[in-house]
Amino acid sequence: MKNRDECWIGVGDIHGQAQNISRIPGVTDARGVIMSGDMTTHGSVDDARRVMDVLQKANPVVLAQIGNMDSPGISGWLEEKGVNIHAEARELAPGFGLIGVGWSAPTPFGTPCEVPDATLGHWLNAVHARASDWKRLLLVVHTPPYGTRVDDLGGGRHVGSPAVREFIERVQPDACLTGHIHESRALDYVGKTPVVNPGMLAHGGYAQIRLTADELSIELKTL
């Protein structure tokens, strides 16, 4: 790995409103942008393309996956572009890897891309099996772990994923970028793993992910 630090910008829950990306300090010089899900709201590939155009004007390197509010076809489009991270393992730098799982567990709203919680766990285990060669690991998952500050709708109503929590407790990735629950912009820990939900990009939340010579870290930031 290079001697200097490498920085990635993490965002989520764009819902068609990507303009704040250009306001993030250092986004142009960052290694790239990582998007945890919900580029659109029930949007089409054309809607996702418009979001991607805005993101890539700020930084040409964008890695992304769909959330529950995106249409399934967007995932195929991201795959064709070579930037999809759902159920994928990607090297960020020598010794540093990323694994991603998008979609969401069931919601009361019947959104386009929902699967049983057990499916999220299956996807996580399957993609993690391809990540054993990396010393440091970033998990990017749209649905946050259950029972934390990052899945609290308010008043202690937790709506995150038990399967995601179990995976983080067992694997202890170095950091986790999540989203989905807009009300829960926060940093919390599951074991030793810091978990950041930056909330909606339109509301100014983002994450700063740093790769140094021997460490992968994440911070919650606000414009």
The confidence score (pLDDT) of residue 154 equals 87
pLDDT tens digits, one per residue of 195-221? 999 999 999 999 999 999 889 999 999
201 within domain boundaries: yes
Average pLDDT over residues 134-146: 97
130 within domain boundaries: yes
pLDDT tens digits, one per residue of 101-136? 999 999 999 999 999 999 999 999 999 999 989 999
The confidence score (pLDDT) of residue 2 equals 46
pLDDT tens digits, one per residue of 31-58? 999 999 999 999 999 999 999 999 999 9
Contact 153, 159 (CB under 8 A): yes
188 within domain boundaries: yes
The confidence score (pLDDT) of residue 218 equals 98
141 within domain boundaries: yes
Number of domains in the chain: 1
163 within domain boundaries: yes
Average pLDDT over residues 147-152: 97
**Which pLDDT band, with edges at 50, 70 and 90, does 1 fall under?**
very low
CATH number at residue 90: 3.60.21.10
The confidence score (pLDDT) of residue 3 equals 39
176 within domain boundaries: yes
169 within domain boundaries: yes
**Which pLDDT band, with edges at 50, 70 and 90, does 189 fall under?**
very high
1 within domain boundaries: no
> By residue range, what is the domain housing residue 99?
6-222
Q: What is the DSSP string of the chain?
A: --SS-EEEEEE---TT--GGGGGSTTTTTSSEEEE-S-SSSSB-HHHHHHHHHHHHHH-S-EEE---TTB-HHHHHHHHHHT-B-BTEEEEEETTEEEEEE-SBS--TT--SSB--HHHHHHHHHHHHTT-TT-SEEEEEESSPBSSSGGGB-STT-B-SBHHHHHHHHHH--SEEE--S-TT--EEEEETTEEEEE---GGGTEEEEEEE-SS-EEEEEEE-
pLDDT-above-90 percentage for the chain? 94
Average pLDDT over residues 9-36: 97
